[in-house]
Structure 1
Amino acid sequence: MRKFVLAPTFVFLLVLASFAQTPTPTPKLVAEDDVVKISTTLIQVDVTVTDKNGKIITDLKSEDFKISENGERQEITNFSFVSASSESAQTPVKSKENEKPSNVPLPPVPLKSDQVRRTIALVVDDLGLSFESVYQVRRALRKFVDEQMQANDLVAVIRTGSGTGALQQFTTDKRQLYAAIENVKWNSLGRGGIGAFAPLEATPLEQSKAAGNTTVTQEALEEERKQLQDFSDFREDIFSVGTLGAINFIVKGMNDLPGRKSIMLFSDGFAICSPDNPDRCARILDSVRKLTDLSNRAAVSIYTFDARGLLTTGVTAQDNTSGVTAERIQNLSSTRSGEIFDKQEGLAYLASETGGRTFFNTNDINQGLEKALEDQKGYYLIGYQPDSDTFDAKTRRFNKLKIEVNRKDANVRYRSGFFGVTDEQIKKPSNQTAAQQIFTALNSPFAASGIALRLNTLFGNDKQQGSFVRSLLHVDAKDLKFVDEAGGGKKAVFDVLAISFGEDGAMIDQIAKTYTMNVKGDAYQKLLTEGFVYYFTFPVKKPGAYQYRVAIRDGASEKIGSANQFIEVPNLKKARLTISGIILENLTVAQWQKFGDSAGQTTASGSSAAYETNSMSDTALRKFKRNTILRYGFEVYNAKLDASQKLNLTTQIRIFRDGKLIFEGKNAPFELLQQTDLQRAKSAGALILGKDMAAGDYVLQVTVTDNLAKEKRRAGTQFVQFEIVN
């Protein structure tokens, strides 16, 4: 397996920094698996109880609750209270040198599933938002990420009208969320107009009558209005079904995610039924009921926000009353009030049926978000044993739940019920072709785990080729099924699909190939032990936010693994100091000593002749043991030169764990490797992974300061996540 380096002259420095860390216990979190259970032996639902001020009530006992199914009282057999309080958000790090908050951005905190307290999907219904509402939602989302997002939150910003390549995966990385927010734009093809209401204007027959056509009758005007309204309702329903379908997809993906799960839906609303059009109910209500049942089984609560805020229902500047009948003008306010109510009805139904809340008629979306987050700090799990009639399709298609609590002024919210089908029956896999399976895994914003994958994407720049992103994918070969071959060999066949998406969700590049791997003897055992790295490079013609997605399907077992990673490609033409992706290499102490003894003796690939390691595998997998040496290398772009054509840079490294700074190195002079292209200055360093470091995820942050640059362009930073394993 060949070496991977950003440039062929890449050599590591003999610079060593060491640190040790006292082991810190991981907070014990309550398991969130199967919050809602619907089986033949147990029906379990989550219940939120708040006081008159909206605060969670935490001291209730099982005897304080009454639960009924279809009007029949049930005996409570399972009862518990779950606290889902999240840790406070990260605060700026103070430097040891000056004790002032650093202006260097903090790296994202990698979370394991048992550390996630809340999983929040911020769903922007751009199929139904007006131009005015989009502005308010974007502002609220930025404030949420800035101020309200907590350390143990897993968050995604998802647009209902986005393509499958939109920046959709759940993350703790605020950079990715900001990039997704930037792509929240008004959808001119959706059901939302410029304002909250369609502007008042004369219909064709009204214009004709106003022009003096005496043949236009009142009956003709009424018929025309009905036809126009039916068409408007049908068009709106098409987009409403699209909105519900997008939320349906999101809920399915959230089914296996950890934490207290919620969807915050920002929309201008949708009508379920219309008094003048009874047939309209069938088009929407079935989709809504299926969505609420799916949400309840996945333990996802939906909180809905009417993004229109406080509205004026009278005549506005955008209305053109010329030619409009006096009756329509007179009824305009009541018509628009009815439209507000109808569209809020759909949002209210989604929230009430899934245990969420609604936030209407307010211009402060973030105040509603704060209340929704407060609402998720704790909940009760209540279960009972169902009888044989619960899942009898002949007598009960839907089972209605009612939960009461014996506490004055208590507000109880719970899931309305469930269809008479068990979770096991619903989870039966559907038949898909091999291509459909891998494409579904790749397009989902959620990683498939049938094959363990680790993806690392690295930004770099070449003088001739320009900017590029190199993706390194480590594959755990034990998850592939090898079949016996003649002569004692082993063979595995797998499909690879890799796609890069731009910030607008459009596909930029792709790779789709089938590979056959043949190995024998010791090579097979080594492959099972160490895995292998699949890597590919895509050129980047335009700076911006990108998402790289890879899916692998094993032909024999049909197992699928997928991974995705967000990366921001900087604009080097702006002349800002920028750092490339960071390459890693792990050495034992003995290898490091040999490296020092043989300094200067390098192979053509740039590695020391005294030992053999694999920086490609180390950079992709990023799993290291204690009491070893971690070497890192990078390039610096756009550094300024003084009058003598020399650089004046300093470097500092930091180590974070769980968002907390645990090691901060001193600012040290930038050690430039021998080279002529100072616009791509190469450097490297190493540190000891101390024997007292606790197992878990860490972040290495490298900051380079250009002392010749202006203040705003002076610092560049890059980070890489790694894991300490036993």
Structure 2
Amino acid sequence: MIKVQKLLTVAVLVALFCTNIGAQSESGASTPTIRINTHLVLVDVVATDKHGKAITDLKASDFTLQEKGKSEKIAIFNPPGSQDKGAARGLGPGIYSNRPEYVTTEGPLAVLLLDTVNTSFRDSAYARRQMLQFVRNQYKPGQRMAIFTLSNGLAVLQDFTTDPQLLYNALVQYLPKEQEGKAAAAPAVANVANADSGRGNSNSMADSFNQRIQAFQNAQVAYQEDRRIEITLAAMRSLARILAGVPGRKSVLWVTAGFPFSLIPEDRTISDTELAESLPTISQLSLGTRDSGSVASITRQGHAGEIRLAAAQLASAQIAIYPVDARGLVSGMEETMLDPKSRNLDAMTQGAQARISNVTSTQETMREMARETGGKAYINQNEVQQGVALALADYPASYTLGYYPDDKKWEGKYRSIKVKTQRDGVELRYRRGYFAIDPSQLKDQKPEQAIAEALSDQAANTLVTFLAQVKPGDKGKLGVDILVDSNSVTAEDVAGGNKKLNLVFYAAIFSADGKMLGNQSMKIDQTFDANTFQQVQQHGILTHMDIDPKPGKNDLRIAVRDNHSASVGTLIVPLQ
């Protein structure tokens, strides 16, 4: 436990010492910050005419907003460009921060995500070539873009930059690889309706053996599908943690061949085997069909809670996903036409139909992902690079509307949103709803697991913001001073008009290959009277930690968790 008097005295000194680097944000108007305890809902709206041209002169009075069919009062209105902060501010030597103002500049903020988990090697290589053409020929100066990759986890290929050469160099050096344990195509549904009822016992035994082999293969496919879901969900959570603290709408240009789920698990796209499993039929379903359908359905529903939470986190972070089909123009018949052995009648009635159905299913899931986040899907087009350009073109047409829902019960259910405008000829695009989830009220929370996941991110998490100074300490240790922005954490009201903060601080040394070599942690669980808390709000919350350095080229990763809101901020400091 840290004594309040000591905490405040040091905080004031550090705040004064750091005035030259802007230790605390300037007073005045600020963009809205999502606070879970206030239940502010932000909705980004893209307004265009019927030709796709941006409409930039709408006012708050031009919009009406409804939640679950009931009108809501618009409390916050930001027109296009109003949240630009200008050039990124500088930091003094040895000072680091995850505050957005130290890394952002004017213009749209976008992440180009190259997904190899849900994409074949051939399609990933094609998408990479298309992205190289986009950066070389269509990337406009001033656009802030980062390049992430998704394989066994989310990785940063190039952090946010406005320099097209840095983006191009990163793509040149990136060589997609065939994924280990890549999910195989779903086995074809057995055509039992056309089975010959007069077959002998030997054929029946052979069929039974083949069905059991297929059931085993289905179990393998289900495991691989489950891994795809887990990796994709983890990537969405990482994106939300990284981008949530940056004001305004963020675009994620997700280059992929499909998603293993939609963001509303109750209204998901299902595979042929799931459909065959659920529909009544006169013929007895094959063992392979029943196993595959049951496992696929159970796998997806087994992640329903995680899917809802990921959807809520993306919505709170104001992230719009733009799925870009890495396959380009595709019908599902390509493999059949390339493989002469697959051109027989049985293959055309089973294998080809399954592939066509799979293409249709994955494309619809992409559309659904875009609709639920306010983005737009770019599918069945050979020029994949055009999809990225179109997504970035939405920035000048983006408005932010904010409201406090009349329904104060944050019970985790899905709430639909509808936005209209009184002006004729205006087309609006926005996310269709959100899950009313309060992360601080979730049962079975695992704070240590959440911190471990946040520390593994290769970019700073921005929900809790802070400054950090790293310098040699006593007895050969590494000294770390952490000054947390009080406006980025949540205080609990307690008896007597007092306020309570509950924060946990972590400092960990990571090797170049991502292995944790050592760590320290400490907790502030403190109640403040009104006068003292006012000083905390003014000067911030400071603590000091010492950690043993490790030999080698390592990183120091710092994390701060607000236990009241379950929000986390992290920072990565390279150690020389």
TM-score range, shorter chain: 0.5 to 0.7
Distance 1:533 1:551, change over 3 A: same
Tell me the equivalent position of 1:441. Answer: 455
Q: Deviations over 1:577-621 (max 9, x none)?
A: xxxxxxxxxxxxxxxxxxxxxxxxxxxxxxxxxxxxxxxxxxx9x
Aligned residue type for 1:273 = I
Structure 2: how far apart are the matches of 1:244 and 1:351? 16
- Bigger relative contact order (CA 8 A; separation at least 6): 2
Matched residue SS, 1:215: helix
CA distance in 2, matches of 1:349, 1:165: 25
2:467 maps to which residue?
Answer: 452
Matched residue, 1:189: 180
User: What is the aligned partner in structure 2 of residue 66 from structure 1?
Assistant: 64
Distance 1:414 1:364 in 2: 25
Note the C-alpha offset of 1:87. Answer: 12
Mapped pair 1:249 → 2:268: no
Q: Does 1:563 align with 2:563?
A: no
Tell me by how many angstroms 1:262 deviates.
1.8
Classify 1:383/1:48 alpha carbon distance in 2 versus 1 (closer, same or farther; 3 Å): same
> In the alignment, which residue of structure 1 is the partner of 2:341?
321
Q: Which whole-Å CA distance do the structure 2 matches of 1:85 and 1:78 have between them?
A: 12
Query: 1:292 aligned to 307, 311, 314, which one?
Result: 311
**Could you tell me which residue of structure 2 aligns to residue 690 of structure 1?**
none
Q: Distance in 1 between matches of 2:330 and 2:238?
A: 31
SS class of match (2:47): strand
Give the aligned residue type for 1:404: K
- Distance in 2 between residues matched to 1:111 and 1:77, nearest whole Å: 24
Q: Does 1:237 align with 2:232?
A: no
Q: Distance in 2 between matches of 1:259 and 1:383?
A: 11
The equivalent of 1:105 in structure 2 is: none
Match of 1:402 in 2: 418
Distance (whole Å) between structure 2 residues aligned to residue 455 and residue 118 of structure 1: 32
Question: Could you tell me how far 1:412 is from its partner in structure 2?
Answer: 1.5
Calculate percent identity across the aligned residue pairs. Answer: 24
Q: Using the TM superposition, give the Cα deviation of residue 356 of structure 1 relative to its aligned residue in structure 2, in angstroms.
A: 0.5
Aligned with residue 370 of structure 1, among 385, 389, 400: 389
1:240-639 equivalences in 2 (<5 Å): 240-241=228-229, 242-270=231-259, 272-274=269-271, 275-278=275-278, 279=294, 280-281=296-297, 283-284=299-300, 286=304, 287-314=306-333, 316=336, 318-319=338-339, 321=341, 326-387=345-406, 389-391=407-409, 393=411, 397-422=413-438, 432=447, 437=451, 440-441=454-455, 443-446=457-460, 452-453=467-468, 475-476=480-481, 497-501=508-512, 506-507=513-514, 512=518, 549-552=555-558, 562-564=571-573
Q: Tell me the amino acid that sits aligned with residue 328 of structure 1.
A: A
Deviation at 1:44, TM superposition (A): 3.5
User: Residues 407 and 338 (structure 1 numbering): CA distance in 2 closer, same or farther, change over 3 Å?
Assistant: farther
* 2:7 matched residue in structure 1: none
Contact map agreement 1:86 1:153 (CA 8 A) in 2: no
1:500 and 1:146, CA in 2 relative to 1: closer, same or farther beyond 3 A?
farther
Q: CA deviation at 1:350?
A: 1.3
Question: How far apart in 2 are the matches of 1:478 and 1:282?
Answer: 46
Q: Distance in 2 between matches of 1:74 and 1:329?
A: 53
Aligned residues of 2:128 and 2:171 also touching (Cα < 8 A): no
Q: Is the 8 A contact 1:313 1:332 kept in 2?
A: no
State the SS of the aligned residue for 1:341: helix
1: CA distance between counterparts of 2:470 and 2:418? 46
Q: Determine which structure has the larger strand proportion and give its number.
A: 1
Q: Report the CA distance shift for 1:346/1:230 in structure 2 as closer, same or farther (over 3 A).
A: farther
Q: State the one-letter code of the partner of 2:434.
A: F
Aligned to 1:276, the other structure's residue is in SS state helix
Work out whether residues 119 and 261 of structure 1, in 8 Å CA contact, stay in contact via their aligned partners in 2.
Answer: yes
- Find the counterpart in structure 2 of residue 117 from structure 1: 107
Offset, 1:127: 0.9
Q: 1:537 to 1:148 in 2, by over 3 A?
A: farther
2:452, 2:207 → 1: CA distance?
Answer: 57
Return closer, same or farther for 1:85/1:136 CA change in 2, 3 Å cut-off. farther
- Contact 2:222–2:299 (CA under 8 A) maintained in structure 1: no
Within-5 A mapping of 1:199-214: none
Q: Distance in 2 between matches of 1:225 and 1:438?
A: 39
- How far residue 367 of structure 1 moved from its aligned partner, in angstroms, is 0.7
Separation (CA, whole Å) in 2 of partners of 1:515 and 1:305? 41
Q: 1:86 to 1:139 in 2, by over 3 A?
A: farther
- Aligned residue for 1:377, secondary structure, equals helix
When residues 112 and 343 of structure 1 are mapped into structure 2, their CA distance, relative to the original with a 3 A threshold, is same
For 1:230 and 1:440, the matched residues in 2 are separated by: 34
Q: Deviations over 1:213-250 (max 9, x none)?
A: 97259986995797478447624531431223322222
Match of 1:129 in 2: 119
Q: Which stretch shows the higher mean deviation, 220-229 or 71-80?
A: 220-229
Corresponding residue for residue 602 of structure 1: none
In 2: Cα distance, 1:249 partner to 1:350 partner: 17
**How far apart in 2 are the matches of 1:533 and 1:243?**
36
Cα deviation for residue 47 of structure 1 reads 1.1
Q: Find the aligned partners of 1:236 and 1:383 in 2 and give their Cα distance.
A: 40
1:363 maps to amino acid: N
CA deviation map 1:14-70 (0-9, x unaligned): xxxxxxxxxxxxxxx995543x67766754422111222222212233444332221
What one-letter code is carried by the residue in structure 2 that aligns with 1:186? K
Decide whether aligned partners of structure 1 residues 213 and 277 sit closer, same or farther in structure 2, where only a CA change above 3 A counts.
Answer: closer
Q: Please say if residues 123 and 160 of structure 1, whose CA atoms lie closer than 8 Å, have aligned partners that are also in contact.
A: yes
- Maintained 8 Å contact 1:499/1:511: yes
Cα 1:232–1:309 shift into 2, 3 Å:
farther
* Amino acid across the alignment from 1:400: S
CA distance in 1, matches of 2:183, 2:452: 35
Partner SS state of residue 82, structure 1: coil
Q: Please give the secondary structure, in 2, of the residue aligned with 1:115.
A: coil
Structure 1, unaligned runs of 5 or more: 1-28, 90-109, 204-211, 457-471, 480-493, 517-530, 541-547, 567-619, 621-726
**Structure 1 residue 422 displacement after superposition:** 4.8
Residue 342 of structure 1 and its aligned partner are, at CA, apart by 0.8
Q: What is the CA RMSD across the aligned residues, in angstroms? A: 5.2
Distance in 1 (alpha carbons) for counterparts of 2:569 and 2:56: 42
Query: Counterpart of 1:569?
Result: none
Change (3 A) 1:474 1:304: farther
Structure 1 residues 214 and 302, CA, compared in 2 at 3 Å: closer, same or farther? same
CA contact (8 A) 2:158 2:170 kept: no
More helix by share: 2
- Give yes or no for contact 1:54–1:375 (8 Å, CA) kept in 2: no
From the superposition, tell whether residues 390 and 553 of structure 1 become closer, same or farther in structure 2 (CA, over 3 Å): closer
After TM superposition, give the deviation of residue 424 of structure 1 in Å: 6.7
SS of the aligned residue for 2:253 comes to strand
Matches within 5 A, 1:646-661: none
